[in-house]
């Protein structure tokens, strides 16, 4: 049974990050810690009572396709109705269109709760939120007035439509065509892997589609972005005729069975009517507004499923009787949580989930500071840091979520491999998070090729400087947190040396950096996680005298475990970054 980790989320938001500071920023003046706590409590109740009970059944029954359209798994339509009645789609959207501005870390924390309870359900509003964000920034005023109020309310959903059978992640190969017709376009083409591309939860779906206007230049420079509604919208906002858009099939997948992954056909005969967003041939630029929102969200999804897997594994370990715990006298078997290796596995799951959560919410804080802080210098540096962290959050948090879910199966032993326990579903569902919105390799290439190389490591250097300064400031704090601090400082040193080596390699030969990009991304995530957990331990040590002593004791022990059993991986990854490229580049593909 899932329980939203409300105390943990409040600790990260209020004590570690101080998200309440954002109330001083224009646009977020109405926010308070009390409001944030209320939002999370309500989200927890909704997730536990409505969404979590549908998770197993949705996995078993899945979404269903027919020529008339896709039908969501049983119970999902009613759950979505309750989701919209609760106002959840409005969270984070522009108040001009019915939204409620809250800090990004609060929105991400709410998304974590929903994803832990039911990842397949969560993917539908997540994509709508991304489409809303793209239209807020890139759409015309007329487009915003026509589409956003109903998307923000949840009355209509949205999608992101990029991938084609021959293109995959290489969007330069997009072939979907857009033919101009007065003030609109007719689109023709097939798209694949469209999450929630068709369903019966709402009467309309607004597709954000990449296509080429006839005569556009080749490659990514010739791609434009279009709004293509499932049902055409009249000038007064009412629904008109059905557009020439249909789902021709849904995929049979490893996991997230209740989330329909659709093959979409645009324009079988006359063409699907679409409306150009912004300027022609700038579609990829606009789509990345939506994609960056989705990348942060997918990183959250990764550790959110890890959180759910941890909760179930810990519950199982407390109730499963097997063997005798070392050093215990007396008859009978003991709960397996008493065995050291089981505790090690559970601590690995717990500490990596907490590190991932802290990093993802910290990245959201930087994006808010970049968007809302009144000081232009603070905005610029925070935005640069947020941009730097996005691929790390997406890549490392999703990889960590996969590892955590897999450990959960191991805690269950043979029963973890049996579907009835539910542990296997977490492994199957979370697997997609390392692939969504660009694989870990693509995130790593973005990290070193764009974020690191673009400013010759300036944003990373600033982050490392802040990490070191903040850790050094903890010197003399409670001895219970001292070990976490020392280990985190050592990890920062390894990351600093690896970053210098990587920048030198990129300058000499970009392929050298690409050969070790994924190890570098993991090195970044592990180190940043250690830094934030060390800060958490220091805060917890200061709170031991209060009424929440047990919670703070757990924070200190979790950080200590991470420092001694997870952070040592940093030195190995640093060695790979500094000296491992040649082993890749010198291998003839024919030898593989």
pLDDT digits (tens, 9 = 90+) for 466-501: 999 999 999 877 787 899 999 999 999 999 999 999
Q: 505 versus 329: which is more confidently predicted?
A: 505
Closest CA to 494 of 578, 372, 416, 552: 578
Rounded Cα–Cα distance for residues 241 and 252 (Å): 31
Q: Are 370 and 386 in contact (CB under 8 A)?
A: yes
Q: pLDDT digits over 407-458, tens only? A: 999 999 999 999 999 999 999 999 999 999 999 999 999 999 999 988 999 9
pLDDT at site 427:
98
- In the numeric block, the tokens 């009645």 are attached to 85
Which of 8, 112, 164, 437 is an active site residue?
A: 437
Closest CA to 506 of 439, 447, 459, 466: 447
> Please, what is the average pLDDT of the chain?
95
- For strand 261-266 and strand 245-250, is the pairing parallel, antiparallel, or unpaired? antiparallel
Query: How is residue 167 written in tokens?
Result: 């293109």
3-state helix, strand, coil in the chain (%, to 5): 65, 10, 25
Helix (H/G/I), strand (E/B), else coil: 538: helix
Global pTM reads 0.96
CA 429 to chain centre: 14
Query: How is residue 468 written in tokens?
Result: 């070191």
Helix (H/G/I), strand (E/B), else coil: 175: coil
Mean pLDDT for the stretch of residues 42-54: 98
Q: Are 376 and 411 in contact (CB under 8 A)?
A: no
Instruction: Using the predicted structure, report yes or no on whether residue 323 has a pLDDT greater than 90.
Output: no
- Confidence band (pLDDT; 50, 70, 90) for 195? very high
- For strand 177-181 and strand 184-195, is the pairing parallel, antiparallel, or unpaired? antiparallel
Rounded Cα–Cα distance for residues 444 and 449 (Å): 8
Mean pLDDT for the stretch of residues 571-592: 93
pLDDT at site 332:
77
pLDDT at site 61:
96
Rounded Cα–Cα distance for residues 38 and 321 (Å): 39
Q: Are 273 and 232 in contact (CB under 8 A)?
A: yes
pLDDT at site 170:
77
Longest pairwise C-alpha distance within the chain: 85
- Catalytic site residue 420? no
Q: Are 382 and 369 in contact (CB under 8 A)?
A: yes
Helix (H/G/I), strand (E/B), else coil: 187: strand
Phi/psi at 518 (5° precision): -65, -45
Q: What angle do CA 254, 296, 447 make, to 5 degrees?
A: 100
């Amino acid at each position: 049974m899932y329980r939203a980790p409300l105390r943990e989320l409040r600790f990260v938001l209020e004590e570690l990050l101080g998200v309440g500071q954002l109330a001083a920023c224009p646009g977020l003046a109405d926010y308070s810690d009390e409001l944030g706590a209320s939002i999370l409590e309500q989200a927890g109740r909704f997730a536990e009572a409505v969404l979590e009970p549908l998770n197993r059944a949705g996995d078993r029954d899945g979404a269903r396709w027919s020529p008339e359209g896709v039908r969501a798994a049983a119970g999902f339509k009613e759950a979505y109705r309750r989701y919209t009645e609760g106002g959840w789609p409005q969270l984070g959207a522009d108040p001009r269109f019915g939204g409620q501005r809250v800090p990004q870390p609060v929105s991400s924390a709410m998304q974590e709760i929903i994803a832990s309870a039911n990842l397949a359900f969560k993917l539908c509003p997540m994509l709508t939120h991304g489409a809303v964000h793209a239209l807020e920034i890139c759409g015309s005023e007329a487009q915003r007035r026509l589409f956003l109020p109903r998307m923000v309310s949840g009355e209509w959903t949205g999608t992101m439509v990029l991938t084609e059978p021959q293109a995959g992640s290489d969007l330069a190969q997009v072939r979907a065509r857009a033919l101009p017709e007065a003030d609109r376009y007719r689109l023709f083409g097939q798209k694949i892997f469209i999450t929630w591309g068709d369903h019966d939860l709402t009467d309309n779906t607004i597709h954000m589609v990449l296509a080429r206007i006839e005569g556009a230049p080749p490659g990514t420079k010739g791609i434009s972005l279009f709004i293509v509604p499932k049902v055409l919208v009249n000038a007064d906002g009412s629904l008109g005729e059905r557009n020439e858009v249909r789902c021709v099939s849904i995929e049979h997948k490893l996991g997230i069975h209740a989330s329909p992954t659709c093959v979409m056909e645009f324009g079988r005969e006359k063409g699907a009517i679409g409306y150009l967003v912004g300027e022609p041939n700038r579609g990829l630029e606009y789509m990345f507004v939506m994609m960056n929102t989705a990348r942060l969200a997918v990183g959250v999804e990764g550790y959110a499923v890890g959180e759910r897997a941890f909760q179930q594994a810990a519950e199982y370990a407390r109730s499963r009787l097997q063997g005798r715990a070392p050093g215990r006298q007396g008859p009978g078997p003991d709960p397996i949580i008493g065995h050291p290796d089981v505790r090690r596995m559970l601590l690995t799951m717990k500490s990596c989930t907490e590190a991932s959560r802290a990093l993802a919410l910290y990245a959201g804080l930087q994006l808010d500071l970049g968007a809302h802080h009144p000081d232009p210098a603070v905005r610029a540096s925070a935005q640069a840091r947020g941009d730097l962290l996005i691929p790390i959050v997406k890549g490392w948090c999703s990889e960590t979520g996969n590892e955590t879910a897999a450990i959960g199966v191991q805690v269950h032993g043979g029963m973890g491999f049996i579907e009835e326990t539910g542990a296997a579903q977490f492994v199957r569902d979370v697997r997609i998070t390392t692939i969504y919105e660009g694989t870990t390799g693509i995130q790593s290439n973005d990290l070193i090729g764009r974020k690191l190389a673009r400013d010759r490591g300036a944003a990373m250097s600033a982050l490392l400087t802040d990490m070191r300064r903040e850790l050094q400031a903890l010197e003399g704090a409670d001895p219970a947190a001292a070990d976490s601090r020392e280990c985190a400082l050592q990890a920062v040193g390894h990351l600093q040396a690896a970053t210098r080596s990587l920048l030198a390699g990129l300058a000499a030969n970009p392929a050298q950096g690409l050969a070790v990009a994924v190890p570098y991304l993991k090195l970044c995530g592990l180190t940043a996680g250690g830094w934030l957990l060390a800060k958490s331990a220091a805060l917890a040590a200061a709170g031991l005298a209060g009424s929440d002593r047990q919670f703070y004791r757990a924070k200190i022990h979790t950080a200590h475990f991470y420092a001694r059993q997870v952070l040592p991986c940093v030195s190995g990854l640093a060695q790979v970054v500094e000296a491992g490229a040649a082993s890749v580049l010198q291998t003839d593909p024919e030898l593989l």
